[in-house]
Structure 1
């Protein structure tokens, strides 16, 4: 496929870093909605196991919508990617591969051209073509649709249809990571269906070109999909797919051990041996491209607007101890905003654990630590031992006199509070897949990005200067400077590169991915 030399070099670098640095780490947790009932009341009979041509995945939270290109949310994206295809995807190592687009090239610094796969149909019979690509990108850009992806696509000027299977994307300035944005964000909805039924109905009755067709969605209970037997890559081996929403770990584990579900992600580190010793289970582990951190919120009018206070908190939190005592040694420590699996990673200063320096910085800021009363928000069950981590951080800060109140939130509410700038001093969040610097830094350190917790006008100016740079060496230099500047500003307390632990039925052929996708088309039952 065609590319500029610099773009090719950038992708080779990406693959090399991923292959070299992807290391196994830890697992996660789940939101605090009422658990799904595993059996009818009034009976002690265990639930019957689903037939083995079917697959049931236990999932921690429900999707927000079935619309593509709308909700920047892992739990939504993972489910709907089985319904919709992308133009470009990533392989298991993070390298870009063709899907609905077969090749692409730069015609000039502002123009990208894509050749589309001919003959592909949506599951309602609509033909996939250039019109469908234009519709979906225009959907993101249209303010009326309230897409949370819009800030990531702000440099798109227009989409031109050249012919049925050729489309051009015109940008307002050079957009060197456009291919990454397409791979990580863009999914293709059926335009005629979406327009005819309207967005509200399409949000509960999706139509894509993917390996699975929508069958039924019961809010906060399950999403049921059936195999698309006419799928352009061939009929899926697994004929029926159900995402069963089971927010609580204990209920998810019980459902797995009883055979009610066959697969779930984020096994608690203290439950690994129980899965391994079960009759039907095994553990699969992979280093994720997701990062976990504590945001030190400058959108809230509190003491963390002072850089010295943010630096003090970095010195007062012992990340090494958290990894050892809470995550049982499964994590890989980070010192800056990017993990080592990110192609743009550079080594940054490690604050380390130094409570004396923390006290000195607070004194310099004329703050008595005993007067500091901060709030730390955390999701309950979304990330590896997240509430346990939050409580441990509160205990560490208490050692220098800072009082921290931990507020545990249901996952959807946690995201809404961040987007609406309703968080107080600190909050725990994860971000990923995170393969390139722009995908993290632009989305988490600019004023208008939906999940940002830190804003500084000089840092934003540095970001905007780096974004349009096409030359890989100059671009890397710009993002290296940004990583060091963000550490100096103590924008976060970086925690760790997340690792993923999966409980897997022994008879299921499943390979976990660094990007955390449940691509069921790639799975099958052993004969």
Structure 2
């Protein structure tokens, strides 16, 4: 922890030097909230990125049929005024009249049918197909009514509709095409996008014709200016220098120094995000891969003191999940998960039994905070695994991961804030691009768990999957995330446990 204390002191010293120059009123006078983030968006289209940054942006600029109340998690009407399920694979939506898209065109059933049929088509090649592969088709039953047919019963369907199914404007997107839409997107949300520079910046402006009575409300702040920077240090520098009003995912040790600044504040909130270590058990990176051996993977789990990382690096009440999912999610059965306590002696023994008494060399790719990656690297080195830490931008790592190029990598998954394991496990184990286990039993169990509305059958299927994943040590949940936010004291902002900053609810004090 000595390194963290030194870093915190250095940041505080820098902050105090620049405090006099920092604007006391942030950008309240310009009515522009300046947001700085890492994880640059190469494509703002909600269906063609799987970054948390993209989810945050789409909830500002787009509306969905359903809204999930951030305080209660209760589902409420949004673009749909009501819905009913006459059978387990049919949902009938009644749509809201009088809604406009940002280009002034009216919202109708045609837009919903177009959106759902596009994302239900595998040829659309969406970034996160597991979020949509349960959709079959949509058909118009009236100017403001739609029937959606599901491929299978999907208990969490309405949560998906609330969190990851924003509605496209059919006529506009067909006119400009997918590429044109990504450059100049149009939605029906509380903010309209006025300028998009992929990977660089996004400008939003309050949509004055946003429909009255929305649970999102009409934004109090007129403009949002989102800029992307390469790393956490630059992000913090922008906040301290008064060039940013809001950042998140700060290094936890910077909480106290930021709170000592007269014009800034920092707060913490546990989220549904789980940090993980992915291992190439299937040998996608080559047959010479030591990670294809179960004992090697088990050694890695025993080698890392995950609790120490959660307690001393992540801090703020971070937990180590027993199962490969977020603890509150339906089906996340911790009781059947095989435990792996921190035991470096056991790790060395397992490596010897696997044929690697002297360890081996491996690339450890990561987009999490460098201190966390370094901690994992040091734990592995202590048992003989010489991991070369390769710190990458999030989008670059995801691209390599999906291509099957990474033997070992550190990442995080927020389940798009859906409180069901169907939003977690399939992303890593359904045979898709992110699956480094390729286990047919696990894939079969996920289909069983996701194909019925019977809760007991679902629980049984998911429990069997979790038992197999942990027995085989395919994938290691490292810790839950406790998000650290830093922002101007002039800003009234509320963080929520679903890790969705709602800038449309923020206001200046």
TM (normalized to structure 2)? 0.88
Give the structure, 1 or 2, with the largest relative contact order (CA under 8 Å, sep 6 or more). 1
1:61 matches 2:39: yes
Change (3 A) 1:469 1:142: closer
| Structure 1 unmatched ranges of 5 or more | 1-43
After TM superposition, list the pairs within 5 Å mapping 1:316-335 onto structure 2: 316-328=303-315, 330-335=317-322
Query: Which of 335, 343, 347 lines up with 2:330 in the alignment?
Result: 343
**2-structure distance, mates of 1:75, 1:95:** 23
Displacement after TM superposition at 1:521 (Å)? 1.4
**What is the SS of the residue equivalent to 1:186?**
coil
Moved over 6 A (4+): 44-48
1:502 to 485, 491, 503: 485
Alignment of 1:340-379 (within 5 A): 340-347=327-334, 348-365=337-354, 367-379=355-367
Question: Counterpart of 2:453?
Answer: 470
Question: In the alignment, is residue 104 of structure 1 matched against residue 83 of structure 2?
Answer: yes
* Shift of residue 303, structure 1, vs aligned partner: 1.5
Q: For the Cα contact (< 8 Å) 1:61–1:75, is it kept in 2?
A: yes
Instruction: Provide the rounded CA distance (Å) in 1 between the counterparts of 2:341 and 2:159.
Output: 33
Contact 2:159 2:418 in 1 (8 A): no
CA apart distance, 1:330? 4.7
SS of 1:55 mapped into structure 2 = strand
| CA apart distance, 1:149 | 3.2
Aligned counterparts of 2:129 and 2:384: Cα–Cα separation in 1: 42
Residues 467-507 of structure 1 deviation map (CA, whole Å, 9 limit, x = unaligned): 11211222123222222221111111211111111012112
Of 217, 229, 249, the residue aligned with 1:266 is 249
Aligned to 2:408: 426
**Residue 207 in structure 1 maps to residue 186 in structure 2:** yes
Name the TM-score, length of structure 1 as normaliser: 0.85
1:443 equivalent in alignment to 2:427: yes
TM-superposed CA distance for 1:174, in Å, is 2.0
Query: Residue 446 of structure 1 contacts residue 454 of structure 1 at CA under 8 Å; is this kept in 2?
Result: no
- Which residue does the alignment assign to 2:299? 312
Report the equivalent of 1:406.
389
Q: 1:481 to 1:257 in 2, by over 3 A?
A: same
C-alpha distance in 2 between matches for 1:142 and 1:264: 36
Instruction: Give the C-alpha shift of residue 398 in structure 1.
Output: 1.7
Say if 1:408 and 1:257 are closer, same or farther in 2 by CA, change over 3 A: closer
Secondary structure of 2:307's counterpart equals: helix
Label 1:369 to 1:375 Cα distance change in 2 as closer, same or farther (>3 A): farther
1:297 pairs with one of 269, 272, 280? 280
Residues 1:375 and 1:69: Cα distance change in structure 2 (over 3 Å): same
CA gap 1:339/1:150 in 2 versus in 1, 3 angstroms: closer
8 Å contact 1:370–1:403 — kept in the other structure? Answer: no
SS at the partner of 2:504? helix
- Give the Cα separation in 1 of the matches to 2:359 and 2:347: 15
| Residue 79 (structure 2) pairs with residue 90 (structure 1) | no
Q: Distance in 1 between matches of 2:46 and 2:371?
A: 33
| Shift of residue 319, structure 1, vs aligned partner | 0.9
The CA distance in 1 between the partners of 2:271 and 2:411, in whole Å, is: 15
Structure 1 residues 517, 265: closer, same or farther in 2, change over 3 A? same
Which deviates more, 399-408 or 249-258?
249-258
Taking the aligned partners of 2:218 and 2:349, their CA distance within structure 1 comes to 64
Contact kept? 1:335, 1:495, Cα under 8 Å: no
Other-structure match for 1:31: none
Alignment check: 8 A CA contact 1:176 1:469 kept: yes
C-alpha separation in 2, matches of 1:435 and 1:344: 10
In structure 2, the residue matched to 1:161 is 140
> How far apart are residue 92 of structure 1 and its match?
1.6
- Give the 5 Å matches for 1:13-32: none
C-alpha contact (below 8 Å) 1:265/1:502 kept by paired residues: yes
What secondary structure sits across from 1:369 in the alignment? coil
Judge which range, 481-490 or 159-168, deviates more: 481-490
Is the Cα–Cα contact under 8 Å of residues 189 and 206 in structure 1 kept in the other structure? no
Unaligned runs of 5+ in 2: 1-19
Tell me the CA shift for residue 343 of structure 1. Answer: 3.1
Residues 8-28 of structure 1, C-alpha deviations (whole Å, 9 max, x = no match): xxxxxxxxxxxxxxxxxxxxx
Contact 2:168 2:186 in 1 (8 A): yes
Q: For the aligned residues, what is the CA RMSD? A: 2.1
Mapped contact 1:204–1:217 kept (Cα < 8 A): yes
SS of the aligned residue for 1:198 comes to helix
In 1, distance between residues paired with 2:279 and 2:485? Answer: 31
Deviation, 1:248, is 2.6
1:397 correspondence with 2:380: yes
For 1:256 and 1:136, locate their aligned partners in 2 and report how far apart those are by CA, in whole Å: 38
CA contact (8 A) 2:93 2:145 kept: yes
Distance 2:177 2:34 in 1: 30
**In 2 relative to 1, CA 154–339 (structure 1 residues): closer, same or farther, beyond 3 Å?**
closer
Q: CA, structure 1 residues 245+164, in 2 after alignment: closer, same or farther (shift >3 Å)?
A: same
| TM-aligned CA deviation for residue 122 of structure 1 | 0.6
Q: State the shift of 1:45 in Å.
A: 7.6
Question: Is the 2:366–2:409 contact (alpha carbons within 8 Å) kept by the matching residues of 1?
Answer: yes
C-alpha distance in structure 1 between counterparts of 2:311 and 2:88, whole Å: 48
Matched ranges for 1:15-54 at <5 A: 49-52=26-29, 53-54=31-32
